[in-house]
Amino acid sequence: MLRLISCHQATLLIEQRADAPPPPRDRRSLWLHLRYCPYCRRYARQTVLIVQLAQARAGAPGALPGLPGAARQRIQQQLLGAGLDSL
């Protein structure tokens, strides 16, 4: 049986849906809510877009810059010199 949910409940389900699919009952309730609520429908589309953009950015080369090679070597030498090579 479908149950009517509020916009607040719908947005929570939309956010959770980005991580893992909700249980079937919640999925059906969200589907029903999205049929009659244009605001939550827009929010759901925007959430999907944000997740896609974040995933694309995270997978892009250079998205998370690392240390330059010279800085990495300098730190490694300092650690080895201090006897902390096991870190």
Q: What is the pLDDT of residues 33-53, one digit of tens each?
A: 999 999 999 999 999 888 888
Report yes or no on 42 lying in a domain: yes
Into how many domains does the chain fold? 1
The DSSP code for 9 is H
Parent domain of 28: 7-63
Mean pLDDT of 53-59: 78
Report yes or no on 86 lying in a domain: no
What is the chain's Cα-based Rg? 23
pTM exceeds 0.85 for this model:
no
Q: What is the pLDDT of residues 12-40, one digit of tens each?
A: 999 998 888 889 999 999 999 999 999 99
